[in-house]
Amino acid sequence: MANNDTEITRATCEAEDSLIGSILIASTDGYRNVIDEVAQIITPDHFKQWNDRQIYIGMLACSEAPHQVNVARQLHSMNLLEDGLISHMSFAISNTPTWLDYLNYAHAVIYYAGTRLGIITHRVKGVIL
């Protein structure tokens, strides 16, 4: 059982980091379309990792495209910019396989949050409900 918990934790971290990285990468074009779409299904409470939760809060609060610089500025203006958040954004960007799978990462984050919180989720034709 402990081995399975370790795998779920690793998968949770990878999904969260990939979602954060996807949003940061996609936002470099100056648009908010990816964060606006993700915000319809993901809340900060879905994130297990504190770093990802704080970064996501900053993304949601950005009035401009939430790329790395704007998110750092927003977190600073909210007094939430702490040690490690900027480097965690860089880590998430560099470890995201492709930003184009952002909805898959979002659904994985929802699934793992449900598993962690004891909320029953299931798949229908590949979509996590």
Model pLDDT for residues 59-80, shown as the tens digit of each residue: 999 999 999 999 999 999 999 9
- Where do the H-state alpha helices sit in the chain? 2-26, 33-38, 50-61, 68-77, 85-94, 102-117
29: which DSSP letter? G
- Separation between Cα atoms, residue 9 and residue 99, nearest integer Å: 21
Question: Rounded to whole angstroms, what are the CA distances from 64 to 97, 115, 126?
Answer: 25, 33, 33
What's the predicted TM-score (pTM) here?
Answer: 0.86
Task: State residue 7's pLDDT score.
Answer: 64
Query: For the chain, which residues make up each domain, given as ranges?
Result: 2-128
Cβ(74)–Cβ(57) under 8 Å? no
Q: What length does the chain have?
A: 129
CATH of 2-128, one of 1.10.357.140, 1.10.730.10, 1.10.860.10, 3.30.70.100: 1.10.860.10
Task: Copy the structure tokens of residue 79.
Answer: 């007094």
Our CA dihedral for 53, 96, 84, 32, rounded to 10 degrees, sits at -60
Question: Could you read off the pLDDT tens digit of each residue along the chain, which spans 129 residues?
Answer: 445 666 668 889 999 999 999 999 999 999 999 999 999 999 999 999 999 999 999 999 999 999 999 999 999 999 999 989 999 999 999 999 999 999 999 999 999 998 887 775 555 445 554
